[in-house]
Amino acid sequence: MKGNQVTDRSEREKMLAGELYDAMDPELKAGRLRARRLTRRYNQSTEEEDALRLSLLRELVGGMGDFAFIEPPFHCDYGANISLGENFYMNFGGVILDCNTVRIGANVQCGPSVQLLAALHTLSAQERVAGPEFSAPITIGDNVWLGGGVIVCPGVTIGANTTIGAGSVVTRDIPANVFAAGNPCRVIRELE
């Protein structure tokens, strides 16, 4: 300890810093349970309950613009590390593993079964079995369209006005104003 300050960082702080952390930490477990309860209620809501869905989404995520809509079913780790821009739309079956920050710009559209995965595990089987995990943030710029089944991997940034083709696996940054597709995802052409 230094003065009255504790020098040890919480597992949550380590997680958000991209360091190895213990996912079984009580604070992190409580955060995941909170997200499970809220997403269960969201996913069980009906199409006539727009106000309830909006309220639950605002309670779940860390921040969002005036309008955001996610078609149920939807799943996430914590919700609190997700920031949704104005006019965000995610189609059925979306998954956001937000064990690090997931920042999504304005006017972003996601097709069905899109996955934004900030979670990482070590490549060493021995270390992986021991339990610690780590993560990397995801950033998606304004006016991006992610086609159905797109997977965005940890640490990726997608630039504004970009379209990612259906079924793509985005393993590295994609610049603004392009159409990109494939596995691994690569720039196909520039957009005007």
Strands 145-146 and 163-164, how do they pair? parallel
Say which DSSP state 10 is in.
P
- Strand arrangement of the beta sheet that strand 115-117 belongs to: 74-76, 94-97, 115-117, 151-152, 169-170
Bridge partner list, 84: 64, 104
Catalytic residue among 121, 142, 179, 186: 121
182/149 Cα distance (integer angstroms):
11
The answer to whether 121 is a known catalytic residue is yes
Q: Which residues participate in catalysis according to the annotation?
A: 121
